[in-house]
Amino acid sequence: MAESAAALRDVLVALPKIALFADLPPPEIHAIARIVRRYRAPKGAVICAQGEVGEVAFFILEGRVDILITAADGRQFLLAELGPHEYFGEMALLDEADRQRSATAVARADTELVLLRRADFLALLDQHPSIARRLLRSAIRRLRQANAQIAGLAFADVAGRLARALLALAEQGDDGRWIVRATHEELAGMIGAARQTVTRVLNTWGRHGTLATGREQLLLLQPAVLRAIAAGEE
């Protein structure tokens, strides 16, 4: 689909700011700009859904996107909030074996993106094989960064991460109290910690009156304390 000159200029400016394309020289940026397509998602729109087969990668120009996973019981958990120059769904371009979407992306605000289709991307690689090498280096760099983050999670403040997760998941009931409906295992998976560690932290908070535990739910008795823990003040 042909883009206007102004729209093409916008894409040419934006692409080098995206980590996946940051190492590419101008001729290859131009080649990518000619095959991507602009897409506008209004606030609340589902951009892609968990479980569907991915044929497109998405790159955010403006706006915000929530990345969500849905549990077997239908509850949704927020994995990430992405903004301009971030991207998602790139495994649709790189993974031949399994392109099933692992999460749902929803526009948090009116959002403008560019879309890169797998078929167009593969055709581009035939014409510009150097892109594959550069993108492979970029993918390796991202993998190393992810591994470093995962390693850091083992030593980081579990209490702070858990407090932030509880505050993000909390829903206010009719009685004004804040409730989190999640199992210890689900919370552990969300923050990258062992379930036993999460249980120990929750039990400690329970003894101090910060929260009360129930069957697959938690009652936040002192949200202000959790906010302080999340901010690293306690």
Which structural domain, as residue segments, surrounds residue 27? 5-153
Identify the residue whose tokens are 């200029």: 9
Residue 181: what are its φ and ψ, rounded to 5°?
-105, 95
Which helix or strand (DSSP H or E) is residue 67 part of? strand 65-70
For residue 133, the model assigns a pLDDT of: 76
Average pLDDT rounded to a whole number, residues 114-133 = 86
Please check whether residues 202 and 114 belong to one and the same domain: no
Average pLDDT rounded to a whole number, residues 4-33 = 85
pTM score of the predicted model = 0.60
For residue 127, the model assigns a pLDDT of: 83
Rounded Cα distance between 26 and 178, Å, is: 52
Please check whether residues 109 and 24 belong to one and the same domain: yes
Please check whether residues 9 and 74 belong to one and the same domain: yes
Please check whether residues 127 and 13 belong to one and the same domain: yes
Please check whether residues 143 and 189 belong to one and the same domain: no
Residue 90: what are its φ and ψ, rounded to 5°?
-70, -20
For residue 44, the SS3 value is coil
